[in-house]
Amino acid sequence: MEPFNARSMLDAAAPATAAQPQIERRRRLSPAALAVTNQKVRGAYSPVVIAGVVRLADFVLLSLVGVGLYLAYVRPLAGGGIHWGYIASILGMSAAAVVCFQAADIYQVQIFRGQLRQMTRMISSWTVVFLLFIGISFLVKLGGEVSRVWLSSFFCVGLAVLIAERLLLRSMVRAWAHDGRLDRRTIIVGADHNGEQLIEALNAEDDSDIHVLGVFDDRNDDRATNTCAGSPKLGKIDDIVEFARRTRVDLVLFALPISAETRILEMLKKLWVLPVDIRLSAHTNKLRFHPRSYSYIGKVPTLDMFEAPITDWDLVLKWLFDRVVGGLALLAALPVLGLVALAVKLDSPGPVLFRQKRFGFNNERIDVYKFRSLYHHQADPTASKVVTKNDPRVTRVGRFIRKTSLDELPQLFNVVLKGNLSLVGPRPHAVQSKLENRLFDEAVDGYFARHRVKPGITGWAQINGWRGEVDTDEKIQKRVEYDLYYIENWSVLFDLYILLKTPFSLLTKSENAY
């Protein structure tokens, strides 16, 4: 048996679908919208995560400076032993510095872009920390035990390190801003006078991260113009979903008055399936709620309608969970992968792996790898015909690995190497999956809302028995129902629970898997 080679197996799976053209429905966009979608857009960085990383960097750098100076100067004078009071003081001062910086409000991306404001606030806060330490040392009568050379060196060197860090951070943040990584790419709904006022209010904000891509409006009368405060009209409301799937959109902002609740509800039914924040601007409303009822974009009050799921630190945690746990799972599964690959190869001619186009995050089309379970000449890359019980297309080995879900194991390569799948999430369906000649999105309302997060190898629906053949409305509706529950209630512990329960579910709830 030849050594197991993941890369060669992935490459070998490619010819299985090369001759099969994929038929996909794409809504036609306006030339103005296409001009925006054709622009090269890089992924966004979360300001929340950036601020958190800077806090951690401040604490680590100050701690290293304090400990380094202690080891270099104080410890040799003290005879070589470790004085844990110094270590505790260093960690306490470093933590206090982070708290003071937070109180001085310098952990904001807008502040990182500047220079004078963050430097003056940082120097003042760092000075306050040392004054507090000196005052506490005096009150507990420890002033004589603390090296004045170390303390003054810690202040000066620590301040120099902080300034150097902030200068580096400033250049990085400005580069990210230039690349659009810190922009919130926004589309406005409503190309009328309200839309003009909203865009003008957003553009008037200093250091705003809002980048208005354009406006969408269904109306063709005098109330809706081709441009709105300099922003182009990109299309109608029905075009927003397709537009947001071709380019990065972070925020959908309604410029309609609250009184237009019927129109707003109709639009929300179409747009809630997108993994973006959706807000209703309240800048022109005469009825005012309590200030805490609003979230603000600069000075513009908005009401939150829907929020993008799994963002900021949650997204970081899920990424780490996938890569760390997925990597360990892949290493553990390598012997099984090798045995299954050998069994598939010996059972019938054709490639070991099968590649299929499926829906990924935000309806992206991704290549998902599986062990081939059908005879090669009867492969069905578009999933136009559902595999049923005793299906003659399924090989002997294929029947076993489909029943046990061993055919899904190569998707660990999607998780670890490609990053387009998660360990846990809604199962990715083939782009042409059908129920009684109806595509899945035609069979159940809100189907595409399950694509607001990255799909997974296993999921909440699967461990509850909703896996395998989809031959009734109930089966696809239940899958969507369970998937949406997972999205709304996600946590790392929830992922871990689903992952641990998956093997038991495969043993007890495999009656629909053919």
For residue 235, is pLDDT > 80?
Answer: yes
Share of the chain above pLDDT 90, in %: 39
Q: What is the mean pLDDT of residues 411-431?
A: 91
Q: What is the mean pLDDT of residues 291-314?
A: 84
What residues pair up with 438 in beta bridges, in sequence order? 435
For residue 181, is pLDDT > 60?
Answer: yes
Rounded CA Rg of the chain: 28
Kind of pairing, strands 227-228 and 300-306? unpaired
Lowest mean pLDDT among 23-27, 146-150, 318-322, 471-475: 23-27
Residue 416's pLDDT band (cuts 50, 70, 90): very high
Please spell the DSSP secondary structure of 207-260, one letter per residue: T--EEEEEEE----STTS-SEETTEEEEE-TTHHHHHHHHS---EEEE-S-TT-
pLDDT given at position 190: 86
pLDDT given at position 424: 95
pLDDT given at position 285: 65
In this predicted model, which residue has the larger pLDDT, 96 or 256? 96
In tens, the pLDDT along 5-21 reads: 444 444 445 444 444 44
Q: What is the mean pLDDT of residues 36-64?
A: 94
Residues ≥6 apart with Cβ < 8 Å to 47: 108, 109, 182, 209
Give the Cα separation of 212 and 188 in Å (integer): 7
Give the Cα separation of 455 and 464 in Å (integer): 17
Which tokens belong to 56? 């951690």
User: Sign of the CA dihedral 481, 477, 459, 314?
Assistant: negative
Q: Which long-range contacts does 31-37 make (Cβ < 8 Å, 24+ apart)?
A: 32/214, 32/232, 32/233, 32/234, 32/235, 33/214, 33/234, 33/235, 33/239, 33/243, 36/213, 36/214, 36/234, 36/243, 36/247, 37/243, 37/246, 37/247
Give the Cα separation of 190 and 264 in Å (integer): 11
What is the DSSP-derived secondary structure letter of residue 79? T
What residues pair up with 253 in beta bridges, in sequence order? 188, 279
Amino acid at 260: A
Give the Cα separation of 407 and 396 in Å (integer): 13
Domains and CATH numbers, the chain: 47-178 (no CATH), 183-308 (3.40.50.720), 313-508 (no CATH)
Q: Which long-range contacts does 297-300 make (Cβ < 8 Å, 24+ apart)?
A: 297/202, 297/205, 297/208, 297/210, 297/253, 298/201, 298/202, 298/205, 298/208, 298/210, 299/201, 299/205, 300/198, 300/201, 300/202, 300/205
For residue 126, is pLDDT > 90?
Answer: yes
Give the Cα separation of 152 and 130 in Å (integer): 9
For residue 511, is pLDDT > 80?
Answer: no
Terminal Cα-to-Cα distance of the chain (whole angstroms): 29
Identify which of 88-102, 384-398, 427-441 has the greatest average pLDDT: 88-102
Neighbouring C-beta atoms of residue 465, cutoff 10 Å: 16
For residue 284, is pLDDT > 80?
Answer: no
* Nearest residue to 165 via CA among 119, 121, 207: 119
In tens, the pLDDT along 360-395 reads: 898 888 889 989 888 877 776 666 666 667 778 888
Kind of pairing, strands 210-216 and 184-189? parallel
Beta strands in 372-414 (DSSP E): none
Q: What is the mean pLDDT of residues 254-277?
A: 86
Burial 7-24 (b: 16+ CB within 10 A, else e): eebbeebeebbeeeeeee
* Nearest residue to 214 via CA among 169, 182, 253, 168: 253
Give the Cα separation of 277 and 249 in Å (integer): 9
Q: What is the mean pLDDT of residues 330-342?
A: 93
Q: What is the mean pLDDT of residues 340-353?
A: 90
In this predicted model, which residue has the larger pLDDT, 293 or 310? 310
Name the helix (H) or strand (E) containing 201: helix 193-203
In this predicted model, which residue has the larger pLDDT, 386 or 245? 245
How many CA within 13 A on the CB side of residue 445?
Answer: 4
pLDDT given at position 21: 44
Give the Cα separation of 461 and 484 in Å (integer): 10
Identify which of 199-203, 337-341, 344-348 has the greatest average pLDDT: 337-341
CA angle 106, 112, 116 (to 5 degrees): 80
